[in-house]
Structure 1
């Protein structure tokens, strides 16, 4: 056996040992994940189905009575990510319902503006539901955040993740807007007038100004704007001076003929009258110039 043959044989044996070692470590992580998940299920007397191909566990709690969906269908859904101990890591509430194609529901931008995590089990479990369905998924760590975890969300190394999933029966944006706004009103015990535009408003002070607001009016207004979950949207200033036609469509439809200078109102507008998501405003009209 010449030197080159001996060297080649040695390299092949070394590569085989390294590959076997890596494969063994990877399989060990899988087995540790699976043991932890099975222990969790046993302790909590839960029955889940195991996907033998991908090694995740899931349970369909509500199949849903709506239509079946495929990857090219738009769906609206929410999720809650949490640890096996119950610590909530990230949650999309039912006042901020997500909308996308089913085929994109495995893609997550977490603390980033770009997609940087792919969780195939999320999409696969949603695929098993009809519209209106609910399911719980348990992702082993090697299909979730792996050995590095995610410090920004306090996710530790090799953390198994529970994902609660809800797919809504509604399939159109305006239907979801109505669902969210109605829930928001009920949650906050509000009494609001519903405009034909689907905006809701309540006028606490109509104002005493003599100039009526029209689309060409320049208005000075103090305002606060929030998402429906109560999160205040930061603005460079709490006061705005602008021609009404340059402001939110919802403002253009509600302010004229209803308030004047000195007027105060609460205004909730659906996504098509806002910037793509329903918004909740407190508005005070300081002055009107025609």
Structure 2
């Protein structure tokens, strides 16, 4: 009986010791997060305030004036993020887009703060997220974020109704000084025909062979191919609208808003609401 009592006492002692150790470790993480954040704020001369008792710091850079932020809506979001120690950084606002349902946006602590503080679409905010509220000890290997990394976010929640104007500005910036040489279609597609072509006409049911390249608005080529063949009907809408302006042998450069490309959500390889630039040479037209 004494042996059983002794064993139970030992088990209880070990449980208390483990629990105390975990509590101490959690407290240490909380203290370390706060220390790192305060040093970062002071070093960068930031003017931020803490959100309740969460240890999350934020600064509203622009209040939203659009419709209320709603978890059940698909909202276009542009963001940058970096770890406070500089080990991880993702600053490209051309590629860092999100447009799924806002309720799926993660980390959840970031999403909830934005809804509570910004309240309306069209706002921008800077948020410092302590590691325990971000991806914790494990980090996020798929994104390349190390463990125990506190993160500095800048986030803009765009008004969905103003997205066409936002993308149009992106396209104009991309074209730069060459903008006057482009014609703008009713659909917001900018195009410049280098060669009209002298061969067969192109219809939407034509099969064409093309050499092409496609670029994001930061100049990165995301796809290129020589001798690609398809029916015009099989292309994205921008191609269906622009290719019939050419004949066989023709060449064209065009930049399309996402509405005539891969839409609000993008695709597996195309970021959400991405305008795209194309350089196309039609080498053959079959009927």
TM-score normalised over the length of structure 2: 0.84
Tell me which residue corresponds to 2:175. 188
Question: Per-residue deviation at 1:37?
Answer: 1.1
Whether the 8 Å contact between 1:199 and 1:269 is mirrored in structure 2 is yes
Name the CA distance, whole Å, in 2 between partners of 1:260 and 1:68.
Answer: 49
Tell me which residue corresponds to 2:55. 55
Tell me which residue corresponds to 1:232. 221
Structure 1 position 283 matched with structure 2 position 280: yes
Per the alignment, in what secondary structure is the counterpart of residue 14 of structure 2? helix
Question: Per-residue deviation at 1:60?
Answer: 1.2
Deviating more after overlay: 182-191 vs 12-21: 182-191
Question: Per-residue deviation at 1:100?
Answer: 2.0
Question: Per-residue deviation at 1:264?
Answer: 0.9
Question: Per-residue deviation at 1:260?
Answer: 1.0
1:224-276 superposed Cα distances (whole Å, 9 cap, x missing partner): 112333222235x32222222222322222222x2112211112223343233
Whether the 8 Å contact between 1:80 and 1:88 is mirrored in structure 2 is no
Per the alignment, in what secondary structure is the counterpart of residue 221 of structure 2? coil
Correspondence list, 1:133-148, <5 A: 133-148=123-138
Q: Which runs of 5+ in 1 are unaligned?
A: 107-118
Question: Per-residue deviation at 1:131?
Answer: 1.4
Whether the 8 Å contact between 1:77 and 1:166 is mirrored in structure 2 is yes
Q: Equivalent of 2:232, from 212, 225, 244? A: 244
TM-score normalised over the length of structure 1: 0.83
Would the alpha carbon gap of residues 43 and 233 (structure 1) be closer, same or farther in structure 2, given more than 3 Å must change? Answer: closer
Would the alpha carbon gap of residues 202 and 176 (structure 1) be closer, same or farther in structure 2, given more than 3 Å must change? Answer: same
Tell me which residue corresponds to 1:103. 103
1:14-44 superposed Cα distances (whole Å, 9 cap, x missing partner): 2111111111111111111111212222333
Name the CA distance, whole Å, in 1 between partners of 2:164 and 2:4.
Answer: 72
Question: Per-residue deviation at 1:171?
Answer: 1.4
Q: Which runs of 5+ in 2 are unaligned?
A: 267-274
1:157-186 superposed Cα distances (whole Å, 9 cap, x missing partner): 422211111111x214xx424422432223
